[in-house]
Amino acid sequence: MPLNILFAARPERWETYERPLRDALDKAGFGDANLAQEINPRDVDYIVYAPNSPLQDFTPYTRTKAVLNLWAGVEAIVGNDTLTMPLARMVDPGLTKGMVEWVTGHVMRYHLGIDTDILRSAPEWMPRTPPLAQERQVVVLGLGALGATVAQTLAGLGFQVTGWSRSAKKVDGIDCLHGAAGLKESLSRAEIAVLLLPDTPATHNTLNAETLAQMPKGAFIINPGRGPLIDDNALLAALDSGQIAHATLDVFRVEPLPADDPYWTHPKVTVTPHIAAETRASTASEVIVENIRRGEADEPFINLVDRALGY
């Protein structure tokens, strides 16, 4: 019997994903699959899912073998008690490339002093050659699919890169630390800190008044992870005191960022509207279909979410 694959995302995403998903299904030998935005819940084998989909109650999906998330972050769905089937998050080579490019751009912007030394120096002629990357310490908090690739790219450019994670890790070219002591040591080196942690109860306010004070004075922060990783009042105070020189924030506790949020107008903050990286339909469809293939072959799914850890 052909597979029934429900596409449960905002309706406007269908146009972006239908062709790439059909192509990937075809390539994997599932060309006869019924891929649709509406299927009787009792008949659905797999759900291709975005957490902002209207589908929030999974109870009627009694034979569904897996929910395949289109987003890397799962905080909006991981606590859903009706979602009892395996949940896979998105690890997409296209998304990873986008994140690497976005983070590298902002690291280079801070490293080279592009805002301060170039744009704002006119009409003064005050040559200050930036240091080389090898003289700059960058810390990446989170060494997962995104953080590890970002860290290795920055190390490849010559930066001294420290990475921090929950469990002990080995990543070539990166000084890997973990746990509470590892965070303190990492932050003490962080001339530039990049946050690529998931949003879980354990990561909330990773940057707070105490940990911000552990960073070198005048450090830079780049947060494409999630808003709750930072205690906003503590960051604003650290920016005002000069402890933190500047922050580039892509993600926020409330999105869209409310019009009256102080971040919008703060002279030491760059706000970007959650655009650091997005799932790319062609590469992501291959990842989704690989999991469908595994499900059908009774092989273990890839990129499974650990419900207890929340990511």
Binding part of the chain for ligand NDP, among 5-13, 103-111, 220-228, 252-260 by CB under 6 A, reads 220-228
Q: Are 107 and 154 in contact (CB under 8 A)?
A: yes
Give residue 144's identity as a one-letter amino acid code.
G
- What tokens appear for 92 in the block? 């997409």
Report the alpha-carbon distance of residue 176 to residue 66 in Å, rounded: 33
**Position 73 contacts ligand OXD (CB under 6 A):** yes
Distances (CA, A) of 40 to 5, 18, 21, 107, 236: 11, 19, 20, 48, 50
Q: List the 87-88 sheet strands across, edge first.
A: 34-36, 4-8, 46-49, 66-69, 87-88
Nearest-approach distance from CB 303 to ligand NDP, in angstroms: 8
**Using CB under 6 A as the criterion, what x/- string covers residues 55-94 for binding ligand NDP?**
-----------------xx-----------------x---
Report the alpha-carbon distance of residue 149 to residue 163 in Å, rounded: 11
42 assigned to active site = no
Rg over alpha carbons for the chain, rounded to the nearest Å, is: 21
Residue least distant from ligand NDP (Cβ): 144
Binding ligand OXD (rule: CB under 6 A), the pick from 5, 72, 138, 219 is: 72
Q: Which of 274, 280, 294, 307 is catalytic?
A: 274
Binders of ligand NDP in range 161-190 (CB under 6 A): 165-167, 169
Indicate which of ligand OXD, ligand NDP, none lies near residue 169 (CB less than 5 to 8 Å, by partner kind): ligand NDP
Binding part of the chain for ligand OXD, among 65-73, 234-242, 259-267, 294-302 by CB under 6 A, reads 65-73
106 assigned to active site = no
For residue 267, the 8-state DSSP code is: T
**Position 278 contacts ligand OXD (CB under 6 A):** yes
* Exposure letters 272-288 (e unless 16+ CB within 10 A, then b): eebebbbbbbbbbbbbb
Binding ligand OXD (rule: CB under 6 A), the pick from 49, 61, 71, 252 is: 71
**Position 198 contacts ligand NDP (CB under 6 A):** yes
**Position 287 contacts ligand NDP (CB under 6 A):** no
Q: What are phi and psi of 84, to 5 degrees?
A: -100, -10
**Position 225 contacts ligand NDP (CB under 6 A):** yes
Nearest-approach distance from CB 296 to ligand NDP, in angstroms: 25
**Position 197 contacts ligand NDP (CB under 6 A):** yes
Binders of ligand OXD in range 154-183 (CB under 6 A): none
Distances (CA, A) of 228 to 69, 123, 206, 224: 21, 40, 8, 11
> Which residues, in sequence order, are CB contacts of 23 under 8 Å at separation 6+?
282, 285
**Position 227 contacts ligand NDP (CB under 6 A):** no
Q: Can you tell me which residue has the tokens 């924030």? A: 249
Binding part of the chain for ligand NDP, among 28-36, 122-130, 132-140, 141-149 by CB under 6 A, reads 141-149
Chain mean position to CA 265: 25
Q: Where on the chain is the footprint of ligand OXD (CB under 6 A)?
A: 71-73, 90, 278-279
Q: Where on the chain is the footprint of ligand NDP (CB under 6 A)?
A: 72-73, 91, 95, 142-147, 165-167, 169, 196-200, 202-203, 224-226, 250-251, 274, 276-277, 311
Residues marked as catalytic: 226, 274
